[in-house]
Structure 1
Amino acid sequence: MSPLKQSPSGSTISNLVKNHPLDLGEYEDQYKHFHSNPELSLQEKETSSTIASHKSLSAYKVQTSIGGYGVVGVLTNGDGPTILLRADMDALPVKEKTGLDYASEVTVKDEEGGTVPVMHACGHDMHVACLLGAAAWLASEDVRKKWAGTLVVLFQPNEERGKGARAMVEDGLYDKIPEPDVVLAQHVMPMRAGKVAVKAGTMIASADSFKITVYGRGGHGSMPQLCIDPVVLAANIVIRLQGIVAREVDPQETAVVTVGSLHAGQSDNIISDEAVLLVDVRTQKEETRQRVLKAIKRIVEKITDIHQECEASNCEKPPTFERTRQFPLTVNDSDVTQKVSAAFANHFGDTFDPAPPTANASEDMSDLATAIKKPYCYWLIGGIDGEKWDKAEKEGRIAEDIPVNHSALFAPVIEPTLKTGIETLCVAALAYLAGQQDS
């Protein structure tokens, strides 16, 4: 493995980017294509195919079908470090309401066989377009003369379920490509377009999701005395779970416990046999995470008052827990972040934020790095139209007027989001890829 070499100075990197502009028209069209043709997690076949055959990767050794529909391209350009740039590419089961002329009208069958709408409501289409643009720019003849090393571009499936990065690793990713010295990635967020933000330490939260089933004894709604009503048990669980953050988590720490779904029965006059709760947990420290998860299990298993109520109701079957998703904490390496931040500050100036708050969103990109004990850095870019953002900020209506990720109204403004996203990837990569230092 090649040692990390001295990278060009921040001003040299910025000059290189400014003096060799990329024609963005093609990537704007490509973004619209991906936005109009989203695919759910584990179904990214056409997205993967489009990426793998795109001319932006013509200089790369491309491999497909890694961990599902994962795609990687490797470009070796002399002796130097190996840098991995990653983008995710799956969409969500959301009905788009943006009104854009390239809005998604796609519907597909989900894993349960139901028909669901599909939308790129989290910006992964923008991530793919940005990485294709960055791959093309870094591989261009004039730019390749200015750096040396190995560049890996990785397009990851199944991020929304928190399993895609791990699946690629477990499918032998690092037997197929050189191990990177550094892993880099980004995400478009509800911030002013053109803004870039990163900090060392915890950048975004961990997430743990569960399907919890509590059991009762069904029967006629007119005869509750002969039944065990799981809706009552589930309702008590929901109320008790809300006390975890309020009474068991240090007020200086951050945690969120959400019951996103509670389902039982199909009729108003039938008491169901069971109730199913879908629970999501977000935390920003591992200690807090463990405390919250233990508290949920304790409450649901009736170690608290719910235990007594359930026993009093003669429950005959214990609750079951099924983990549905798990995202690790994303903790940026301090040395990598310092290097990337210096390059961003030099290139982006006042639009660079070196101290953003930790986000409660979650990611699995760190699995690409921690699986091989390598450092990583993950940053955020803004995607909200500047005039819209400024108006909402002035009127104190950001929460009301600015759509967030996973909203049916979320769609990054194409420019300057695309240009910013391409430049962040290029600037960050060049902060490590040693080469000639003249621009």
Structure 2
Amino acid sequence: MNSVLRSVLFAGAAALLATSAQAAPGTLDVAKAKAQIDAGLDKAYPHLDALYKDIHQHPELGFQEVETSAKLAKEMRALGFEVTEHVGKTGIVAIYKNGPGPTVMVRTELDALPMEEKTGLPYASHAVTNWQGKPTPVAHSCGHDIHMAAWVGAAQQLVAMKAQWRGTLMFIGQPSEETVGGARAMIADGLFTRFPKPDIGFAQHVGPFQTLGISYRAGANSSSADGFEITFQGRGAHGSRPQLSIDPVMEAARFTVEVQTIVSREKDPAAFGVLGVGSIVSGSAGNIIPDQAVLRGTIRSYDDATRTLLKEGLARTAKAVAEMARAPAPTVVFDQGASAVVNDAAVTARTAPVFKAAFGAHAVEATSPGSASEDYSEYIIAGVPSLFWGLGGYDPKVIADYRAKGQEPPGNHTPQFAPTPEPTIRTGVEAMTLAVLNVLS
């Protein structure tokens, strides 16, 4: 197929999806489809559970997911997908063609976090790897292992139900989401030129709310994320002779407090924005005034105007703090992170009735975006209209036990984060399979 004809067909498919989203939820018999998926899961779940626990016990950091991607590639080839490995370093792309129709992308992440797991689970991770020059524990404390199991499960069910849909499945396993670099790496490696550019995309993320729960919303669904590193320069001296120094620790301390005025006095109170320092590294001993301090932190927002205000205010404050100390100008480096995930209104409108029909009161339209960030936004920016939703991961009894103690259940990126595999994986398979069927049926 030549590129002009491909563009015409893709544009036509996208227009059809948008029109149908505005008119009706489609022709999918949700109750019947869900019953078929559940019957298939009754047989497939033991394998998915074993795959999940295997991945959980053997986590890998971003761009190191060699074994993880190989496991998923093997699963997808066994289902009849055409699999390409090493896309964006350690990413995989699995294609399943089933006649004419739209191309639908389903994405999972592959990477884990550089942190110790403290869940006490029998399948807990005890993995250790080299990270930033030192041995570091590794754990799937974000939930990407749940996503991978549900991703494979959705592929299983869609292949089993292929008589009921037409089109192309594009299942991608993305590396290094936690560094917000994996999506860009896959796109830069030809994700949408070497392979068909999707007409629509879906992804989900497990979180610390009730199992069976699905949370979705049109528009902004997550915050943007930018990292920063500031190096304050000073002049070292003996701790007993501070008059000879320019103390970078004082610069760092003053900046950490003062920069919050950008949030409290310059940002519109109605606009979401976070500016926080998470790391200060300086000095070696209590009686030595060091000559340098390095701060690292994060900036989060929902809109570009707030994002710009926070970054400009941070740089201005760092410079002013250094001038107050008569120190050299600091070095301020921004790590351009992920933009906000913005769900497509038409895709959301088309999918929401399916979730309502399948999960009833457990399918909830969120009233506001989340504060976490996701590099799935890169696919949306590249032109893939998408829906990214939340997936509940905790048994209601677990939530009740924590709240009885005046606590909230451990969230993502904490050592105790422990989603309940079933029914979380099952619900993830159901939601993803139904969303795709609704587009392709």
Q: TM-score, normalised by structure 2?
A: 0.92
| Corresponding residue for residue 60 of structure 2 | 39
| Corresponding residue for residue 421 of structure 2 | 414
Match of 1:379 among 373, 389, 401: 389
The structure with higher relative contact order (CA 8 Å, sep 6+) is 1
> Secondary structure of the residue that 2:125 maps to in structure 1?
coil
Deviations 1:17-71 (A, max 9, x none): 3124222110011000111000011211110111111256531110010111001
- Sort the Cα spacing of 1:379 and 1:56 in 2 relative to 1 into closer, same or farther, 3 A: farther
Deviations 1:398-419 (A, max 9, x none): xx24001100000211011000
**Unaligned residue ranges in structure 2 (runs of 5+):** 1-5
Give the AA of the match of 1:166: R
Give the AA of the match of 1:70: G
| Corresponding residue for residue 323 of structure 1 | 334
- Sort the Cα spacing of 1:77 and 1:264 in 2 relative to 1 into closer, same or farther, 3 A: same
> Secondary structure of the residue that 2:310 maps to in structure 1?
helix
- Is the Cα contact below 8 Å between 1:57 and 1:135 reproduced in 2? no
* Counterpart Cα distance in 2 of 1:259 and 1:346: 44
Give the AA of the match of 2:100: D
* Counterpart Cα distance in 2 of 1:279 and 1:16: 46
Once the 2 structures are TM-superposed, how far is the Cα of residue 86 of structure 1 from its aligned partner?
0.3
* Counterpart Cα distance in 2 of 1:43 and 1:320: 30
| Corresponding residue for residue 204 of structure 2 | 186
Once the 2 structures are TM-superposed, how far is the Cα of residue 290 of structure 1 from its aligned partner?
1.2
* Counterpart Cα distance in 2 of 1:55 and 1:279: 39
| Corresponding residue for residue 129 of structure 1 | 149
* Counterpart Cα distance in 2 of 1:392 and 1:286: 37
Match of 1:248 among 266, 286, 289: 266
- Is the Cα contact below 8 Å between 1:202 and 1:331 reproduced in 2? yes
| Corresponding residue for residue 431 of structure 1 | 438
Deviations 1:170-195 (A, max 9, x none): 01112221110011111001111110
| Corresponding residue for residue 286 of structure 1 | 304
Match of 2:358 among 347, 355, 367: 347
Give the AA of the match of 1:240: E
> Secondary structure of the residue that 2:366 maps to in structure 1?
coil
Once the 2 structures are TM-superposed, how far is the Cα of residue 295 of structure 1 from its aligned partner?
0.8
| Corresponding residue for residue 202 of structure 1 | 220
- Is the Cα contact below 8 Å between 2:338 and 2:377 reproduced in 1? no
| Corresponding residue for residue 437 of structure 1 | none
* Counterpart Cα distance in 2 of 1:262 and 1:84: 41
Once the 2 structures are TM-superposed, how far is the Cα of residue 15 of structure 1 from its aligned partner?
1.2
Once the 2 structures are TM-superposed, how far is the Cα of residue 314 of structure 1 from its aligned partner?
2.7
Mapping 1:264-275, distance limit 5 Å: 264-275=282-293
* Counterpart Cα distance in 2 of 1:74 and 1:33: 24
1:404 partnered with 2:411? yes
Give the AA of the match of 1:294: E
> Secondary structure of the residue that 2:124 maps to in structure 1?
coil
| Corresponding residue for residue 148 of structure 1 | 166
- Is the Cα contact below 8 Å between 1:93 and 1:116 reproduced in 2? yes
* Counterpart Cα distance in 2 of 1:122 and 1:14: 31
- Is the Cα contact below 8 Å between 1:366 and 1:376 reproduced in 2? no
1:51 partnered with 2:72? yes
Once the 2 structures are TM-superposed, how far is the Cα of residue 169 of structure 1 from its aligned partner?
0.3
Give the AA of the match of 2:279: S
Match of 2:33 among 16, 28, 43: 16
| Corresponding residue for residue 86 of structure 1 | 107
- Is the Cα contact below 8 Å between 2:57 and 2:125 reproduced in 1? yes
Task: Report the RMSD for the aligned CA atoms in angstroms.
Answer: 1.6
- Is the Cα contact below 8 Å between 2:218 and 2:348 reproduced in 1? yes
Aligned pair count? 420
Deviations 1:356-377 (A, max 9, x none): 4311000001212322x23111
* Counterpart Cα distance in 2 of 1:264 and 1:193: 44
1:311 partnered with 2:323? yes
Stretches of 4+ aligned residues off by more than 6 angstroms: none
- Is the Cα contact below 8 Å between 2:79 and 2:159 reproduced in 1? no
**Unaligned residue ranges in structure 1 (runs of 5+):** 435-439
Deviations 1:221-248 (A, max 9, x none): 1111111100001100000112221111
> Secondary structure of the residue that 1:30 maps to in structure 2?
helix
* Counterpart Cα distance in 2 of 1:50 and 1:189: 24
> Secondary structure of the residue that 1:326 maps to in structure 2?
coil
* Counterpart Cα distance in 1 of 2:260 and 2:27: 48
* Counterpart Cα distance in 1 of 2:405 and 2:124: 29
Deviations 1:233-265 (A, max 9, x none): 110000011222111111111111111011101
- Is the Cα contact below 8 Å between 2:323 and 2:329 reproduced in 1? no
Once the 2 structures are TM-superposed, how far is the Cα of residue 385 of structure 1 from its aligned partner?
1.5
* Counterpart Cα distance in 2 of 1:129 and 1:293: 38
> Secondary structure of the residue that 1:267 maps to in structure 2?
coil
1:368 partnered with 2:379? yes
- Sort the Cα spacing of 1:117 and 1:325 in 2 relative to 1 into closer, same or farther, 3 A: farther
Q: TM-score, normalised by structure 1?
A: 0.92
1:75 partnered with 2:120? no
* Counterpart Cα distance in 2 of 1:356 and 1:75: 36
> Secondary structure of the residue that 1:210 maps to in structure 2?
strand
